[in-house]
Amino acid sequence: MSNVPALFNHAWLAARRVRALAQPDSFADAGFLRQAARLDLTERLDAVSRNFEHALDVDAPDRALADALFATGKVQTVSVGTGFADADIDRPRDEAGQRLGERTEEGSLYDLITSVLSLQFANDLPGVLIQLRRALKPDGLFLGALLGGDTLFELREVLLEAESEILGGAAPRVLPFGEVRDMGALLQRAGFALPVADIDTLVVRYGNPLRLLSDLRAMGATNVLKSAASRPMRRDVLLRAMALYKDRFAEADGKVPATFQIVSLSGWAPHESQQKPLQPGSAKSRLADALGVAEKSAGEKTGQ
């Protein structure tokens, strides 16, 4: 992964998450995104008709998801891996500090690995997914959630416009989020079987867009793009952006929306017992027979 450009400064991410955790009340109040993703993940797990002996929750700030997994009754033990203080998302580690993916499949410990709202900070997401897949036992399950798509498109738009207007150019201030249509392909590329990627949109309304910035700070989710180091946000740019936010997006009651899209991922470590697609030409009946129509050869016009 050393050849992959580093978009994110993980040292900044760690520091901001530690600062957020030092204010537990604010962190809890701004935890609506993590709570929504956690609920969705446990519901997806509940739909799986099997139990898991040993699960690992990667890059978790606390044991909230671990406790929720245990409460489903489907997981015997849950460990918490690399957390906010370490935040080396590109090298996730288990609770013993060992880097995931270094074990062979025969030596893997986990039959369930979860990750909630951390993978969007990975510089090399395909590489991280490969590590997670290698850390699973054969037929082990990965369940994840990350921010994607149009997340915070309103904030991105006004920050870019305000900075361009005042300074004649703009630096990116909101993370680049992946599209759901790409995520299933990334899971497949990482070697997962039966990959699935879904998206859910959550719109939060604020009386003042400054409250959105306060929530992002309380989450430890402010700008960690490396490019931000060369061009810190100016106060006049921020105030202009907040004015644009109100002018452009305020609804009838004066409140402004903030859009968050949560991409849910699932995939299985390959195993011979898993369902496999049929090989071309292996069908035992014709589609024309099933539809009750006459079969036409290629290029033959209807009615001939």
The model's pLDDT over 73-87, given as tens digits with 9 standing for 90+, comes to 999 999 887 655 555
The neighbour count for residue 174, using CB atoms within 10 Å, is 17
The model's pLDDT over 197-240, given as tens digits with 9 standing for 90+, comes to 999 999 999 999 999 999 999 988 888 888 776 678 899 999 99
Kindly report the pTM of this predicted structure: 0.82
Radius of gyration of the chain (CA): 23
Distance of CA 203 to the CA centre of its chain: 17
The model's pLDDT over 137-183, given as tens digits with 9 standing for 90+, comes to 999 999 999 999 899 999 999 999 999 999 888 778 887 888 888 89
What is the rounded CA–CA span in Å between residue 116 and residue 92? Answer: 13
* DSSP per-residue string spanning 33-93: HHHHHHHHHHHHHHTSSS-EEEEEETT-SSSHHHHHHHHTTSEEEEEE-S-TTT--TTS-B
What is the rounded CA–CA span in Å between residue 37 and residue 65? Answer: 10
Domains along the chain?
10-149+173-203+258-291 (3.40.50.150)
Confidence of residue 247 (pLDDT cuts 50, 70, 90): very high
